[in-house]
Amino acid sequence: MATATATEMQPAKRALGGRLKPWPYYVKRFFLYIIMLVLSAIFMVPLAWMLSTSLKTQGQVFANPPIWIPRPIMWQNYIEVLSVAPILRWLSNTFIVTVSATLGTLVSSSMVGFGFARLRFPGRGFLFGLLLATMMLPGIVTMIPTFILFKTINWLDTFLPLIVPSYFGGGAYNIFLVRQFYLTIPTDFDDAARIDGANNWTIWLRIMLPLNAPVLTAIGIFSFVGHWNEFMGPLIYLFSEEKKTLALGLRAFVDPYLASYHLNMAAAFYLTLPMIIIFFFGQRYFLKGVVMTGITGR
């Protein structure tokens, strides 16, 4: 597979435009499409199986050979599972946590990023190096004392431990991204504003933030996905049933003793669907955002 790539990159570009090629080219293309289709199918099977099972009657769940398109389609499963566990409550908890934390990430990463990109102060290089170093720090060393800190200030079983840290920097990765983006904006913008009497706050709010919209959208999406999927944090900090996030609550649905497989899959789909939706609307930003992080490799 790898061998085909390098040479094919170019003829392919021309081929889409038209004009016939020698036949081995079409054979290669044919195999390329076959490989892509097979791989796509393999990658999509678990999600398709989740969706398919979630729409089956209990009787069809264990059918062998497997049934892919359920008949009848049991949309009711999605209502029925709501009576098994407080899924809507967990869903709204997850929304509250995710949106609040994402907001914090956006505000604080863009602010800190501006400081590192645009303002000169003693120790900036050292502090920025420190920031980059924390990207490689495994979260596991800080977990226990952080838990003790939140326990001491009585924040256990509240959303605060999951939200508040986002307002303090919003993650080294995001700060780095914002800074890199600010660096691409010519300083003439700042100078012009400064001559007009703007201070740093005005420059940040009125000039930099609007120009920064694409990178902030990407960060917002990543932060949303990250907080939505988070498991370890809620596991440690939330105990009572009505405080749980959806990811934590669905822990009880892994083993099907609580409900049957079709209801388990419906529950899992409640957790997955928002990610699928956000991907389809924000696809452009996902790819761009990751590409921007790719800079880190250089």
Partner 1 sequence: MATVTRVPQAGMLAKAAGKRRRSKLAIREAIDGYIFIFPWLLGFILWTAGPMLASLWLAFTRWNLFMPPEWVGLENIRQLFADRFVGISLWNTAYYTFLSVPLGIIASLILALLCVQEMYGRAWFRTFFYMPSLTPAVASAIVWFWILNPEVGLANMVLKAIGLPPSQWIWSAKTSKATFVLMSLWGAGGNRMIIFLAGLQNIPQSLYEAAQIDGANAWAQFWHVTMPMLSPVMLFNVVMGIIGSFQVFTGAFLMTAGGPANSTLFTVLYLYRLAFEQFNMGYASSLAWLLFFIILGFTIIQLRLAETWVYYEGG
CB 203 within 8 A of CB 194: yes
The reply on whether position 182 binds partner 1 by CB under 8 A is no
Question: Would you say the C-alpha torsion 295, 138, 244, 51 has a positive or negative sign?
Answer: positive
The reply on whether position 229 binds partner 1 by CB under 8 A is yes
The reply on whether position 153 binds partner 1 by CB under 8 A is no
Looking at 13-21, 69-77, 78-86, 180-188, which segment touches partner 1 (CB under 8 A)? 13-21
CB 173 within 8 A of CB 109: no
Distance from C-alpha of 200 to C-alpha of 139, rounded to nearest angstrom = 34
The reply on whether position 277 binds partner 1 by CB under 8 A is no
Rank residues 73 and 143 by Cβ distance to partner 1 and give the closer one: 143
Q: What is the DSSP letter of 57?
A: -
Rank residues 188 and 255 by Cβ distance to partner 1 and give the closer one: 255
Please give the residues from 66 up to 95 whose contact with partner 1 meets the rule CB under 8 A: 66
The reply on whether position 195 binds partner 1 by CB under 8 A is no
The reply on whether position 231 binds partner 1 by CB under 8 A is yes
Burial of 130 (0-12, 13-18, 19+ CB in 10 A): exposed
The reply on whether position 154 binds partner 1 by CB under 8 A is no
Binding partner 1 (rule: CB under 8 A), the pick from 21, 71, 151, 206 is 151
Rank residues 5 and 92 by Cβ distance to partner 1 and give the closer one: 5
The reply on whether position 148 binds partner 1 by CB under 8 A is yes
Task: Show the DSSP H helices in the chain as ranges.
Answer: 2-15, 23-54, 58-61, 76-84, 87-118, 124-135, 140-152, 160-163, 172-183, 188-195, 200-202, 209-211, 213-229, 232-237, 246-249, 261-294
Residue 173: name the closest of 124, 227, 135, 208 by CA.
135
Rank residues 69 and 140 by Cβ distance to partner 1 and give the closer one: 140
Distance from C-alpha of 92 to C-alpha of 74, rounded to nearest angstrom = 24
The reply on whether position 29 binds partner 1 by CB under 8 A is yes
Distance from C-alpha of 275 to C-alpha of 224, rounded to nearest angstrom = 9
Looking at 42-50, 75-83, 85-93, 211-219, which segment touches partner 1 (CB under 8 A)? 42-50
Binding partner 1 (rule: CB under 8 A), the pick from 24, 59, 122, 210 is 122
Min CB(131)–partner 1 separation in Å: 7
Min CB(242)–partner 1 separation in Å: 18
Min CB(255)–partner 1 separation in Å: 7
Q: Cα torsion for 273, 230, 226, 134, to the nearest 10°?
A: -170
Please give the residues from 124 up to 143 whose contact with partner 1 meets the rule CB under 8 A: 124, 127, 130-131, 134, 136-143
Count of residues of this chain found to bind partner 1 when the rule CB under 8 A is applied:
107
Looking at 76-84, 85-93, 210-218, 226-234, which segment touches partner 1 (CB under 8 A)? 226-234
Distance from C-alpha of 257 to C-alpha of 294, rounded to nearest angstrom = 43
